Amino acid sequence: MRRGGKNLTPSGSIARTRFQEIVAEAIDSIPEGLHRRIENVAVVIEDEPDRETLLDLGLDPAEDSLYGLYQGTPISERGAAYGNALPDRIVIYYLPLTEDFGDEYHLRREIRRTVIHEIGHFFGLSDRELRGMGY
């Protein structure tokens, strides 16, 4: 999930441990029917995307950042030979989220939105499709 320019609000200094709890709550809020279908995916928290990642995605590191990123092969693209693969990854970025959403209410909403967006990529949905669904 992408965010726009770097007009940042002051951080509400949400502790990293609290941030991790909010991410876990977002994952737990996924409906059971979908949750059962998510296999071999690691959700990790990193501080922020590196310059190379942003450039690879066609983003301007001076203007853009990310809240989250799916790295892997969507299940819609996996063939019969797919197997013995390292886990896919969903990365949630701590600094961009806490800088843009200083209060816990809005941070919680955006983390949930970001987690769902990245899980959508795991299922093969495009950014355009996810935006159309409000994610």
Of the candidates 22, 44, 33, the one whose C-alpha atom is nearest the C-alpha of residue 92 is: 44
46 and 94 Cβ atoms separated by less than 8 Å = yes
Q: Which fold has domain 12-132?
A: Zincin-like (3.30.2010)
**What's the pLDDT tens digit per position in 7-55?**
333 445 789 999 999 999 999 998 888 888 888 899 999 999 999 999 9
Report pLDDT for 1: 57
99 and 51 Cβ atoms separated by less than 8 Å = no
45 and 17 Cβ atoms separated by less than 8 Å = no
pLDDT, averaged across the chain: 86
How much of the chain exceeds pLDDT 70, in percent? Answer: 90
Domain map (residue ranges) of the chain: 12-132
The CA distance from 88 to 105, in Å, is 29
Strand 2-3 to 65-66 pairing? antiparallel
**Amino acid identity of 29?**
S
**Amino acid identity of 26?**
A
Q: What is the pTM of this model?
A: 0.84
